[in-house]
Chain A
């Protein structure tokens, strides 16, 4: 034991370091690369968002042309879902899952590297459109078909040039990478657990990544299939989505949303995992209702597969279709509510420490609840007929994606950064980051609901004065300033703390899961001796040998 304390990094030339990272199959290095790569794209999509907020800040604006605006919202959405949220969650999952289940690596390390590089090339290909998307017809550089790229807009007749090809091929590549990742997550969690870690003793993070991995297999695949059809249409002259030949554009909608809705759960379930780990550690209590939490996660996974057409209420469906998708969508609220009550019950009566990870997690709880409630409103078909494709929808899903997903990702950064780098993130800067981001978030997205209710459609590049939309849009744009400053503080905090932060030690939060049992950062092989566990909180058992958890579980 203790052999990992030996200095393992001999002095290497820069080229050797580059080779080491390019050729690595180590889950921690791959996780790191996913995260860095996603952060770069986060900055890019943020710049796109700022440009759009400048354009929309006042009426009749000519800051951007309509063409550029179309490209910006397409790239913002596509980048956000596929090249920020997915890779960042894959990064954390890759880094944490083997450590938390006491394994030395993922089940298929080389497949893991393959998945990362496919995703990485997918992102590069998407942005390659800026250089070559013009094609011979000079029909516009970046993709401008929207992130769900409804047919027949994507047909060669309506999207000449190559920009749409870049969109579809990059998502095809990223999709293959994601499926590889999903296979790896499931196989790792089922087959690489350390001795004693039965399914009922796994950390919730492992359980939730297992569900995410399983969901990826059945949700990304339909998207991949639909992209194959689109590629066949554009390159081989097939007619899948060609209305001139009898093809159906509604079929694309179905295929896209069969992917698109469960995708939301692919993104939010790992965030539930972060919140679960953080809340119970900072409340100094064991997780309340562990079995209910697992059951709720699994049932969310299943139910989410049967709700996709709630994105299509405004396209018209038979009444039984409407009723079915309204009801299934409402059902999702039940397991989600169970989760929220479990988190609250975990905090109830606990000795809560409001460190930065915890305040971000609490922010998540509050905002996710509101985002879920507006989701229930939109799930009611008549309400959706009124407000579908309005800014109310935009406000709703940003509430989930920013207020829910991004907040937990920040929480995860503050919580696990010490493990990954051996240095603490600065708490004061963290508090500034949190409060500025909360203010910015609520300014932007709370007030964005109102122009939606007043009838402002999404994706308009500008609007006329005198419709009562100006003030709300101005407030939303001002919120973006606060968010930008908060993100800059976060980036500064990470860079500064990486070099100058306080040393973290192995277990700065006095936590209970296995990743805190090894050094920070962990050695290449994670654990000198493969641990064995007897309860859900193995480090509690070590720290309290007189009163171990396994006596009660």
Chain B
């Protein structure tokens, strides 16, 4: 009728188990990576297989500036976390805000690119295989950036209200992991779409 666990002689060895937040996020990253793998495989498989134009070389411009922004946001969020771990909440807020701005610039650039493609070039998801795979892969990544930006915004609001302290660094770290993942995926997507596929 009761727990008999206490009758087991307890060892004195300290008991360490990993943080569930991190493990959970790593799991999510594994699952998301599998999703991206399938979309990248479809993209690569369909390179050059469209039956009609336009081709990537005709209409795609390499988004160098927004890529630099997104990749450097990994650095700024890293600095933000380093500041938070030392308890420097102001430094944290500043770097966190810069991260948000860099991410927002990236997503704005994607929006402009899509607007140009759809309204000037008349290139949509229905145009050809290239259109289907391009909008699906870049859109899938963009939706992840948007999800990350929403997370960043929530933490930013909490930080402005003075609610983010040193003891929350573990939780912010989980979100930062996701952001690093989103950046790393962009390296793959960028290489696939703008270098290999073009």
Contacts and interface: CB of A to CB of B under 8 A. Distances in A.
A183 B31 contact: yes
Contact of B9 (A4, A179, A528, A534): A534
Main secondary structure of the interface of B (DSSP, over half): helix
B65 interface: no
Interface size classification for chain B: 35 or more
A1 B27 CA distance: 36
B3 A196 contact: no
Contacts of A182: 27, 31
A291 interface: no
A529 B31 contact: no
B129 A247 contact: yes
Interface stretch (B33-41, B89-97, B109-117): B33-41
A221 B24 contact: no
Contact of A530 (B4, B5, B9): B5
Interface string B40-55: 0010011001110000
B120 interface: no
Contacts of A236: 125-126
Given A236-B125, A238-B132, A240-B132, A532 B20 contact: no
Most buried by B among A191, A193, A233: A191
A1 B3 contact: yes
Interface in B49-74: 49-51
B23 interface: yes
Contact of B38 (A108, A183, A225, A542): A225
B17 interface: yes
B5 A529 contact: yes
Interface in A297-336: none
A245 B30 contact: no
Most buried by B among A2, A196, A225, A530: A225
A347 interface: no
Interface in B97-156: 125-126, 128-129, 131-133, 135-136, 140
Nearest to A522: B3
Contacts of B15: 195-196
B2 A532 contact: no
B34 A529 contact: no
Most buried by B among A233, A532, A541: A532
A248 B45 contact: yes
Contact of B132 (A226, A239, A518, A530): A239
B6 interface: yes
Contacts of A214: 30
A239 B129 contact: yes
Interface string B5-32: 1111111000101111001100110111
A107 interface: yes
12 contacts: A1-B2, A108-B20, A228-B35, A229-B39, A232-B125, A245-B50, A519-B1, A519-B2, A528-B2, A532-B11, A538-B5, A545-B7
Interface of B: 1-11, 15, 17-20, 23-24, 27-28, 30-32, 34-35, 37-39, 42, 45-46, 49-51, 125-126, 128-129, 131-133, 135-136, 140
Given A196-B11, A238-B131, 11 more contacts: A5-B2, A183-B24, A186-B27, A191-B17, A238-B126, A246-B51, A247-B132, A251-B42, A519-B1, A538-B5, A539-B4
